[in-house]
Structure 1
Amino acid sequence: MKQSDRAHHTVYKYASPLIALFLLLTSVADLNAAPGPNVIVIYADDLGYGDLGCFGHPTIKTPALDQMAAEGMKFTQFYSAAPVCTPSRAALLTGRYPIRSGMCSDKRRVLFPNSGGGIPASEVTLAEALKAAGYKTACVGKWHLGHLPQFLPTNNGFDSYFGIPYSNDMDRVADRKHGRSIFLKPEVKFWNVPLMRNTEVVELPADQTTITKRYTEEAIKLIQQNKQQPFFIYLAHNMPHVPLFRSPEFQDKSRRGLYGDVIEEIDWSVGEVLKELKTQGLDQNTIVWFCSDNGPWLIFNEQGGSAGLLRDGKGSTWEGGMREPTIAWWPGHIPSGSVSQELGSTMDIYTTSIKLAGGSVPTDQVVDGVDLTPVLLKKENSPREELAYYRGTKLMAFRKGPWKAHFITKPAYGREPFQEHDPPVLYHLEHDPSEKYDVAQDHPDVIKELKAAAEQHHKTVKPVPSQLEIPLPN
Structure 2
Amino acid sequence: MINRPNVVVIVSHDTGRHFGCYGVPTVQTPAIDAFAADGCRFTRMYGTSPICSPSRGSLMTGRWPQRNGLMGLAGGKRGGAFGWDFNDPEQHLSHVLRKAGYETAMIGYHHEAIDLGTLGFDHVVRGAGEQAKFHTAPGVGERCAEFFRQRRGDRPFYLQTGFLETHTPYNGQGIPPDSAKGLWLPPWCRVENPDDAMQAHVAGLQGSVRSLDTGVGIILESLRASGLEDNTLVVFTVDHGPELPRGKWTGYDGGIGVAFVMRWPAGGISGGRTCDAMLSNVDFLPTLKELTGTPLTHAPDGVSFAGLARGTEVESQRHWLGAMFVGLHYEVRTERYKLIHNFRGSYHQPPPGATEHTNPVAELYDLDSDPLEIHNLAYESAHAGARREMSGILRNWLESVDDPILRGPVSGPGVTFGDPDDRYRESLAEYREWTGCQASNSKDRRRGP
Q: After TM superposition, is the score higher than 0.5?
A: yes
SS of the equivalent of 1:66 reads: helix
Q: Give, as a single letter, the amino acid of the residue that structure 1 aligns with 2:259.
A: P
In structure 2, the CA distance between the partners of 1:340 and 1:246, relative to structure 1 (3 Å rule), is: farther
Moved over 6 A (4+): 464-467
Aligned equivalents of 2:306, 2:238: Cα separation in 1 = 20
2:147 is the counterpart of 1:213? no
Deviation at 1:416, TM superposition (A): 4.0
Aligned equivalents of 2:64, 2:135: Cα separation in 1 = 34
> Which residue of 377, 396, 402 corresponds with 2:310?
377
The question of whether the paired residues in 2 share the 8 Å contact of 1:316 and 1:411 is answered with no
Residue pairs, 1:176-187, within 5 angstroms: none
The question of whether the paired residues in 2 share the 8 Å contact of 1:82 and 1:322 is answered with yes
Aligned to 2:9: 41
Deviation at 1:55, TM superposition (A): 1.4
Aligned to 2:36: 69
The superposition leaves residues 430-461 of structure 1 with CA deviations (integer Å, 9 ceiling, x where unpaired) of 44321123445444333332222222222211
The question of whether the paired residues in 2 share the 8 Å contact of 1:348 and 1:369 is answered with yes
Deviation at 1:394, TM superposition (A): 5.1
Q: Give, as a single letter, the amino acid of the residue that structure 2 aligns with 1:404.
A: K
SS of the equivalent of 1:324 reads: strand
Aligned equivalents of 1:247, 1:83: Cα separation in 2 = 24
2:139 is the counterpart of 1:146? no
Aligned equivalents of 1:412, 1:375: Cα separation in 2 = 38
2:386 is the counterpart of 1:420? no
Q: Give, as a single letter, the amino acid of the residue that structure 2 aligns with 1:224.
A: R
Aligned equivalents of 1:289, 1:263: Cα separation in 2 = 17
The question of whether the paired residues in 2 share the 8 Å contact of 1:130 and 1:357 is answered with no
2:229 is the counterpart of 1:288? no
Residue pairs, 1:177-256, within 5 angstroms: 195=127, 203-208=128-133, 211-226=136-151, 228-245=154-171, 251=176, 255=180
Aligned equivalents of 1:393, 1:60: Cα separation in 2 = 35
Q: Give, as a single letter, the amino acid of the residue that structure 2 aligns with 1:433.
A: P
2:281 is the counterpart of 1:341? no
After the TM superposition, which of the residue ranges 55-64 and 279-288 deviates more from structure 2?
Answer: 279-288
> Which residue of 108, 129, 143 corresponds with 2:96?
129
Deviation at 1:352, TM superposition (A): 1.2
Aligned to 2:291: 356
> Which residue of 375, 378, 383 corresponds with 1:437?
375
Aligned equivalents of 2:296, 2:279: Cα separation in 1 = 18
Aligned equivalents of 2:135, 2:391: Cα separation in 1 = 48
Equivalenced residues, count: 375
Aligned equivalents of 1:263, 1:361: Cα separation in 2 = 34
Deviation at 1:214, TM superposition (A): 2.0
In structure 2, the CA distance between the partners of 1:258 and 1:288, relative to structure 1 (3 Å rule), is: same
After the TM superposition, which of the residue ranges 430-439 and 62-71 deviates more from structure 2?
Answer: 430-439
Aligned equivalents of 2:34, 2:415: Cα separation in 1 = 44
> Which residue of 254, 265, 270 corresponds with 1:331?
265
Aligned equivalents of 2:293, 2:172: Cα separation in 1 = 38
Aligned equivalents of 1:467, 1:96: Cα separation in 2 = 20
> Which residue of 453, 456, 464 corresponds with 2:393?
453
In structure 2, the CA distance between the partners of 1:384 and 1:224, relative to structure 1 (3 Å rule), is: farther
In structure 2, the CA distance between the partners of 1:254 and 1:131, relative to structure 1 (3 Å rule), is: farther
The question of whether the paired residues in 1 share the 8 Å contact of 2:16 and 2:239 is answered with no
The question of whether the paired residues in 2 share the 8 Å contact of 1:84 and 1:110 is answered with no
Q: Give, as a single letter, the amino acid of the residue that structure 1 aligns with 2:390.
A: L
After the TM superposition, which of the residue ranges 212-221 and 456-465 deviates more from structure 2?
Answer: 456-465
In structure 2, the CA distance between the partners of 1:100 and 1:275, relative to structure 1 (3 Å rule), is: same
Aligned equivalents of 1:60, 1:455: Cα separation in 2 = 40
Q: Give, as a single letter, the amino acid of the residue that structure 2 aligns with 1:373.
A: A
Aligned equivalents of 1:224, 1:75: Cα separation in 2 = 30
RMSD: 2.9
Q: Give, as a single letter, the amino acid of the residue that structure 2 aligns with 1:428.
A: D
Deviation at 1:401, TM superposition (A): 2.5
The question of whether the paired residues in 1 share the 8 Å contact of 2:41 and 2:274 is answered with yes
SS of the equivalent of 1:325 reads: strand
2:321 is the counterpart of 1:387? yes
Higher relative contact order by CA 8 Å / sep ≥ 6: 1 or 2? 1
Aligned equivalents of 1:357, 1:130: Cα separation in 2 = 10
Aligned equivalents of 1:75, 1:431: Cα separation in 2 = 22
Deviation at 1:215, TM superposition (A): 0.8
Deviation at 1:427, TM superposition (A): 1.9
Deviation at 1:140, TM superposition (A): 1.7
Aligned to 2:244: 298
2:251 is the counterpart of 1:314? no
Q: Give, as a single letter, the amino acid of the residue that structure 2 aligns with 1:319.
A: D
Aligned equivalents of 2:261, 2:397: Cα separation in 1 = 28
- TM-score, normalisation: structure 2: 0.75
Residue pairs, 1:11-30, within 5 angstroms: none
Aligned equivalents of 1:145, 1:100: Cα separation in 2 = 14
Q: What is the aligned-residue identity percentage?
A: 27
The question of whether the paired residues in 2 share the 8 Å contact of 1:246 and 1:261 is answered with no
Aligned equivalents of 2:211, 2:258: Cα separation in 1 = 19
In structure 2, the CA distance between the partners of 1:111 and 1:246, relative to structure 1 (3 Å rule), is: closer
Deviation at 1:275, TM superposition (A): 1.6
Deviation at 1:128, TM superposition (A): 0.6
The question of whether the paired residues in 1 share the 8 Å contact of 2:50 and 2:249 is answered with yes
- The unaligned stretches of length 5 or more in structure 1 are 1-32, 164-194, 196-202, 300-311
SS of the equivalent of 2:265 reads: coil
Aligned equivalents of 2:340, 2:204: Cα separation in 1 = 35
2:213 is the counterpart of 1:272? no
